[in-house]
Amino acid sequence: MKAKIHVTLKQGILDPQGKAIEHALDSLGFKNAANVRVGKYMEVDVQETDKAKADAQVKQMCEKLLANTIIEEYRYELV
């Protein structure tokens, strides 16, 4: 199964990368772009046919490595 994982900063956590992009967009003339937030998107092939097992594994991967759960939140879907 393939896991599609999104890791994003929690609401309220400052996003300097997003701010930098916002300023760059402004400089390029995109005056109506605001609130840019940047996150990570990962795809992982999980060699597991049982959906419940794959789900549990991906959750563990996110908790242990892929997301810093103090400042980030994650969501994923299995396809």
Q: Which residues here bind its own copies, judged by CB under 8 A? A: 6, 8, 18, 21, 24-25, 28, 30, 32-48, 57, 60-61, 64-66
Query: Under the phi-then-psi rule, with left for phi > 0, alpha for psi from -120 to 50, and beta for the rest, what region is 60?
Result: alpha
Question: Do the Cβ atoms of 41 and 5 come closer than 8 Å?
Answer: yes
* CB nearer to its own copies: pick between 42 and 70: 42
The smaller minimum CB distance to its own copies, of residues 46 and 55, is found at 46
Least separation in angstroms between residue 1's CB and its own copies is 10
Q: Cβ–Cβ contacts within 10 Å for residue 60, how many? A: 11
